Structure 1
Amino acid sequence: MTDVITQAYAHLDRQDADGAVAILLAMGGGAEAAGLLGDLLLEKGKLEEASQAFRGALAEEPDRLPCLRGLVAALAGLGRHGEAMEPCRLLLDARPDDAMGHRHMAHLMLAAGDRDAALAHAREARFLARHDLEILIDTAQVMLAADEGLSAVEMLDGALRRAHPADPALPRGRVILARLWTQLDEPGKAAAVLRAALQADPDDTGGAAAALAELAHGPAAATLSAAFVRALFDSYADRFEQELVGKLRYGGPGALRDLLLDHGIGPGAGLRLLDAGCGTGLAGAALRPVAAHLAGFDLSPRMVEKSRARQIYDALWVGDLVASMLARPAAHDLVVAADVLVYVGDLNPVMAAAAVTLADGGHFAFTCERTVEPGFILHEGRRFAHGEAHLRRAVADAGLELRHLAPFSARTQRGEPVPGWIALAVKP
């Protein structure tokens, strides 16, 4: 076995990885040789062969931790996340402080749909590898995918600022940071990162020039990304009501309550009510008297927690605006969206989804911001304003009837009323 390892390393010293692999395949050997073979095959991207080599090594020495780590990487790369879970657990049982193991487990838990566990392992990897930029880059991407986008960019930005100027991961890290900002609908910040990356790395080893060109020529968004909205409100949750009601004089929920009362929908109506984009529950509190069953959802987990604390909802969940309505056909008599459609450009998917979730005769009451343009615009406040023509067409195309549409200001900005709409549509 010693001769095999010696010959393999002799080939590696001559930069002949293929020769090393050939020696190891031809002469075999013990767990050490199989582990080295697995490492070389993994580097070459031969994941299936690498997994077999690591399994061979572990059959002889089950506690060989580098081989457990390699097996997890190979299986995860093959998309066999369920298979990778057990060796990853064994690795972390033996070495709870293994940053790479936590990094892998974060990905595996994310693939399994366990967001909380994924975040727990990502945070552990971040703590254990606070000086390993490669792991921190990967951890930031896991955090974004697990709905912690704002925390992800803050963590990666700090790591890049602390990194040694010669760290080979730095160019890639800057480009990843820019992509994270892009996914959070912050193109200006993304562009600034990419320009700085090009200045620091004139050879552009990270691909910043291509990313900058892609950013400059990308299509205009029809809506803000879920990642941006979620990060915005997760960071805003603790001061949301103080800012919105106290400073911006927000009056959307009360106005919707009065609009419904004008159309014969008042306390005791006994409706199945869906509070779409419930936030901290302001609309739910205003409209609870009309509901026999009050359900709500929001993209932001922290906002849902605030709504849950009110103890007025019969059902609450974290969910997407359109998907949540489409998943519940004919389940509601009334849907309200108070100050929610300002984060949506094209209203057609929302109106179509509302038509699906409403029972016949059900109502959709909503507020949004107003523009004189016929379509919709994304203004400097990162909120959409909608023209009358677009709004009317979206309602009609969804098969709904517009019963009420009037100018209305739900809030102020810099002391001035923000132009908006208040509307009520019905499903015939």
Structure 2
Amino acid sequence: MSDRAWALVDANRLAEARSLFKMICEMGEHDPESWMMLGALHAEFLDMKDAMSCLQKSIELDPSYPDAHLNLAKILVKQSKIDEAYAHCKIAVDNDPCYTDAWQLLGGIQEKLGDFVEAEISSRRAIELIPDNVSCHANLALVLWKQGKLQEAVESYQRALQIDSRLVVAWMQLAAVYSHLNAYPEAEQCYRKVIEIEPLRGEAYGQLGDLLIKQKRKDEAIEAFRKALHIKSDDAGVHLQLGWAYQSKRQWDDAIVSFQEAFRLAPDNVNACFGLAAAYLEKGMDGVALGYFQQALRLDPDNDEIRFHVAQLSGATQPSTAPAGYVRRLFDDYAERFDSHLVGELSYKGPELIHAAVMDVLGSDFEKKDILDLGCGTGLCAPLFKERALKLSGVDLSEMMVDAARRRGLYDHLTLGDITVALEGVNEAYDLIIAADVFIYVGELERVFELCSTALRRSGLFSFTAEAAQDEMASFVLETSGRYSHSKRYLNQLAQSFGLDMECMRNSVLRMDRGMPINGFTVVMRRP
């Protein structure tokens, strides 16, 4: 009877095999193999309770039986009982060091437990036993990736795909590794291979779209996101990605449609709610934008950026400065079109205003200076001040802005970071510190002035622009534009508090905004 039952398993007649093994075991059979196989067959038919009972009986009859421990470990993994699964899988390999399936599962369990070093050892052991096992190579690649061994992970995925070129999960994960390596063309090829194998795999289109966004291929990204949604129209994440893609192209109405759909599908998604608020804000619909920002703040009460926007539009308690993450993302996104938009469309004059004021104060002083450009952006001040610089340094919070400034080739030194951090511990290092359109993102200026007064040498100059607050009694005001304005009284008070002499404070038009002039001050102060 036992031989017939095993023959049915070999013939893949599993239901008949299960019935026969059940009969064998009920007859009082004390064969651990029969109990193990009955347990495995119960598991095949998703009867997990009986499966575990049979496998435990098999282990009771033979505590060192590897097959019983392995099959029990598989069930425990499905039940998320990872520690118990590990214990049984370890017994399996200890009792049969050449058990490939057990080594493979053990590696997967160790990966789930976060023990990537041991997972790598187990996966390599499985490959030693069966070198052409595609799953073992894919598992090894995954644990190498999670250890940050990205190039080794690429090689392991490639070996897996040499064995099975249609293994979609390996192509997807290889694409992700390439993306981490900034090897975007290779990652794109992987995603397109997935689409070739499985044309209806929406996830691949979504990931491809995200990759294309990173390469600034926005129109192609939008097409990829649309294809993903054609396959799976209720994917809130892809609607959100599509919304941000439209947002990056300044197609506010299309962005709103996408964000609305993402928010409808996922009402607790703060990013979708925030996207709606940001798009309405760009359209000048401040009231609607405020409603969505307030809703987003309820979803994420600790989010400083959202709280900043609520304060911007509602006049609520004003933060002392714009959140660093917000400013960084704003200018990373803005860097590509910063010069053309700010100078060409908004008639931005900050660098020229500062340069003219400083030159007037310097007069006949033609000695070259050590100059620090705070919030240097793309380096618009550099061409104006380079010829007067002994050394020209710049600092900015945005990596993309610093990269753009570096491409000008005019700065002797550039630092990525917050302006106050860059000034910490700097004593009498500069003859001139400039800040063009920087303080519109900083309300409370005491710390900046303190650091600048210390960083200046004797007779050194500190020159900056600031938007003019209409309320002269206020120190600073967070305007509905999201920019800070400062009062003349406050700027004079700061100069006095930190021992700086006011050389000049000129009324200036700093730029245009929606056809209206933005009034402000061009200031030059001197350390006595």
Give me the TM-score of the superposition, normalised by structure 1.
0.70
The change in CA–CA distance for 1:3 and 1:233 in structure 2 (over 3 A counts) is same
Deviation for aligned residue 1:136: 6.0
Residue by residue over 1:260-280, the C-alpha shift from the partner in whole angstroms, topping out at 9 and shown as x without a partner, is 233235562211112223344
Give the alignment partner of residue 213 of structure 1, picking from 295, 298, 309.
298
How many angstroms apart in 2 are the aligned matches of 1:193 and 1:212? Answer: 20
AA aligned opposite 2:92 = M
The equivalent residue for 2:88 is: 23
Q: 1:165 Cα shift?
A: 8.0
1:286 — aligned with what?
A: 384
2:313 maps to: none
Asked if 2 retains the 8 angstrom alpha-carbon contact of 1:223 and 1:346, the reply is no
State yes or no: 1:3 paired with 2:67.
yes
Structure 2 residue matching 1:425: 3-state secondary structure: strand
Tell me the amino acid that sits aligned with residue 53 of structure 1: A
8 A Cα contact 2:212 2:218, kept in partner: no
Does the C-alpha gap of structure 1 residues 270 and 164 become closer, same or farther in structure 2, counting only changes over 3 Å? Answer: closer
1:264 and 1:104, CA in 2 relative to 1: closer, same or farther beyond 3 A? Answer: same
Q: Equivalent residues in 2 for 1:214-293 (5 A)?
A: 214-215=299-300, 218=303, 219-220=307-308, 222-223=321-322, 225-237=326-338, 240=339, 242-264=340-362, 268-293=366-391
Find the partner of 1:40 among 76, 95, 109.
109
The 2-side partners of 1:143 and 1:348 are apart by 43
Query: What is the rounded CA distance, in whole Å, between the counterparts of 1:139 and 1:296 in structure 2?
Result: 35
SS in 1 for 2:331: helix
* Bigger RCO of structures 1 and 2 (CA < 8 A, at least 6 apart): 1
- Give the deviation of 1:388 after TM superposition: 3.0
1:372 alignment partner, SS class: coil
Structure 2: distance between partners of 1:314 and 1:16? 57
Which residue of 2 is the match for residue 69 of structure 1? Answer: 141
SS for the counterpart of 1:409 is strand
d(CA) in 1 for partners of 2:425 and 2:204? Answer: 39
| Structure-2 separation of matches of 1:277 and 1:290 | 19
The one-letter amino acid paired with 1:419 is N
Query: What are structure 2's unaligned runs of at least 5 residues?
Result: 1-64, 162-169, 193-200, 248-252, 274-294, 309-318
- Which residue of the partner structure matches residue 518 of structure 2? 418
Aligned to 2:190: 128
Alpha-carbon shift at residue 199 of structure 1 (Å): 1.9
* Contact kept? 2:103, 2:126, Cα under 8 Å: no
The 5 Å alignment of 1:108-123 reads 118=181, 120-121=182-183
Pairwise CA distance, 1:390? 4.2
Q: Is the 8 A contact 1:276 1:335 kept in 2?
A: yes
Q: Report the more deviating stretch, 271-280 or 188-197.
A: 188-197
Structure 2 residue 173 is the aligned partner of structure 1 residue 100: yes
Residues 338 and 366, structure 1, Cα contact 8 Å, conserved in 2: yes
User: Does structure 2 conserve the Cα–Cα contact (< 8 Å) formed by 1:406 and 1:421?
Assistant: yes
CA contact 1:17–1:40 (8 Å) conserved in 2: no
Matches within 5 A, 1:334-349: 334-349=432-447
Are the structure 2 counterparts of residues 157 and 31 from structure 1 closer, same or farther at C-alpha, using a change threshold of 3 Å?
A: farther
The amino acid of 1:213's aligned partner reads R
TM-score between the two structures when normalised by the length of structure 2: 0.59
- The 8 Å contact of residues 270 and 299 in structure 2, kept in 1 or not, is answered as no
RMSD: 4.8
Matched, 1:354 2:455: no
Going from structure 1 to structure 2, the CA distance change for 1:336 and 1:201 (only over 3 Å counts) comes to closer
- Equivalent-residue separation in structure 2 for 1:123 and 1:226 (angstroms): 30
SS at structure 2 position matched to 1:361: strand
How big is the shift at 1:291?
1.9
The equivalent position to 1:53 in structure 2, one of 119, 141, 157, is 119
Number of equivalent positions:
393
Residue 464 of structure 2 is aligned to residue 366 of structure 1: yes
State the shift of 1:420 in Å.
Answer: 0.6
Q: Give the Cα–Cα distance (whole angstroms) in 2 for the partners of residues 394 and 205 of structure 1.
A: 43
After superposition, the Cα gap between the structure-2 partners of 1:264 and 1:151, relative to the gap in structure 1 and judged at 3 Å, is same
Paired residue secondary structure (2:362): coil
Quote the offset at 1:58 in angstroms.
0.9
Structure 1 residue 207 displacement after superposition? 10
State the one-letter code of the partner of 1:61.
Answer: I
CA distances 1:221-249 after superposition (whole Å, capped 9, x unpaired): 52152333322432314xx1x44444433
Aligned residue among 479, 482, 485 for 1:379: 479
C-alpha contact 2:399 2:416 (8 A) present in aligned 1:
yes
